[in-house]
Amino acid sequence: MKIMEYTAVEPTHFDNEVAKGVAGRVLVGKADGAQNFCMRAFEIAPGGHTPRHAHAWEHEMFFHTGEGEVYGNGQWNPVGAGCVAFVPGNSEHQIRNTGEKPLTVVCLVPSGAPEL
């Protein structure tokens, strides 16, 4: 069993032409013995965004803090604290922070997907 504060995990920072102001953490993954899923947390700075992309695996996302939008089904959809999103495999998607505080999202991916 693993119990800890998520901020104890050192973040990986992404800040380039495709991802801006993103800090990602693997909270539970292969190193913890997780065989079916990887749990990740992303903090997206105000004005920041993840890359727009698609891949074979699905995402389950829970938005913990902040305000933003998720691109899916050809449009931007507003999200905030307490919202959930399901992104099916092979669906183009992107997250962007439209607020003035960090947007924090917890994301699950299956074990075959890259952890970060």
Residue 59 lies in a domain: yes
- The residues facing 84 across adjacent strands are 62
**CB within 8 Å of 15: residues ≥ 6 apart:** 21, 22
Residue 6 lies in a domain: no
- 105, amino acid identity: V
Convert the pLDDT of each residue in 53-63 to its tens digit.
999 999 999 99
Residue 72 lies in a domain: yes
Residue 38 lies in a domain: yes
Convert the pLDDT of each residue in 78-110 to its tens digit.
999 999 999 999 999 999 999 999 999 999 999
User: Taking a C-beta distance cutoff of 8 angstroms, is the pair 22, 44 a contact?
Assistant: yes
Measured in whole angstroms, how far is the alpha carbon of residue 75 from the centre of its chain? Answer: 18
Residue 29 lies in a domain: yes
pLDDT tier for residue 39 given thresholds of 50, 70 and 90: very high
Per-residue pLDDT, 11: 98
Residue 65 lies in a domain: yes
Count of domains observed in the chain: 1
Per-residue pLDDT, 57: 96
CATH of the domain at 59: 2.60.120.10
Per-residue pLDDT, 55: 96
Convert the pLDDT of each residue in 5-36 to its tens digit.
999 999 999 999 999 999 999 999 999 999 99
End-to-end CA distance of the chain: 22
Phi/psi class of residue 82: alpha, beta or left (left: φ > 0; alpha: ψ in -120 to 50)?
left
Residue 4 lies in a domain: no
> Which residue, 20, 34, 25, 8, is CA-closest to 116?
25
Per-residue pLDDT, 6: 96
Domain carrying residue 91: 11-110
Backbone phi, psi, residue 6, to 5°: -65, -30
Residue 1 lies in a domain: no
